[in-house]
Amino acid sequence: MKKQSIRFKNYFYTFTLLWLLWYAFTTSLQPAELTVGAVLSLFVAWITVKYFDCCDPILIYPGRIVYFVGYFFVFLRALIKANFDVARRVINPKLPINPGIVKFESKLHNRFAKMVLANSITLTPGTLTVDVIGNTFYIHWIDVKGGDPETAYKEIAEPFERILLKIYG
């Protein structure tokens, strides 16, 4: 019974999100537009609900929205910092690079949270998530600083993970 309840919740939230996206793109309150959007959203949610069973619909909880906003700014800061670092290395080829693959253990247990962390790391220039096995992340890094996993974790993932732990527990 509990599995069915979670599946319905995920279906409902997927439908609602899709319908809101439909409205955002059409910006029309015409009954025909809203009906077509609702029907298409129901159909797409019905097809895709099985793929969205990894996490609760976290956007509904207002306390977590504050952390999402904070995460956005942490990510933006890391993105700008990494862009300047890579740009410096491109402009001045004499700057040393020490590429390599580093690994670290994540404290995240939620699959969706690990995916968000992996994508956040990959989206910042100079780092690329190569693989995630269990809680171990393998990252290609343009300038490996030290060989120990703790240094890699602090430099690459700690700012992201700190907030993700508050969002996803």
pLDDT in tens, 103-131: 899 999 888 889 899 999 999 988 999 99
pLDDT of residue 57: 55
Same domain, 8 and 47: yes
Same domain, 76 and 107: yes
Confidence of residue 56 (pLDDT cuts 50, 70, 90): low
Same domain, 159 and 81: yes
Range of the domain at 80: 59-168
Query: Is-contact 160 71, C-beta < 8 A?
Result: yes
Residue with the larger pLDDT of the pair 102 and 59: 102
Could you report how far apart the first and last alpha carbons of the chain are, in Å?
24
Same domain, 31 and 113: no
Confidence of residue 58 (pLDDT cuts 50, 70, 90): low
Residue with the larger pLDDT of the pair 28 and 50: 28
Same domain, 33 and 116: no
Same domain, 48 and 93: no
Question: Which residues partner with 139 through β-bridges?
Answer: 102, 129
pLDDT of residue 134: 92
Confidence of residue 4 (pLDDT cuts 50, 70, 90): low
Count up the domains in the chain and report the number: 2
Same domain, 97 and 16: no
Confidence of residue 159 (pLDDT cuts 50, 70, 90): very high
pLDDT of residue 65: 78
**How far is CA 135 from each of CA 66, 77, 81, 111, 113, rounded to the nearest angstrom?**
26, 25, 26, 10, 11
Same domain, 15 and 90: no
Confidence of residue 84 (pLDDT cuts 50, 70, 90): very high
**How far is CA 65 from each of CA 51, 70, 145, rounded to the nearest angstrom?**
23, 9, 34
Same domain, 44 and 112: no
Mean per-residue pLDDT of the chain: 84
Percent of the chain whose predicted confidence (pLDDT) is above 90? 31
- The residue-averaged pLDDT of 156-160 equals 90
Same domain, 31 and 63: no
pLDDT of residue 2: 57
Same domain, 67 and 147: yes
Same domain, 42 and 82: no
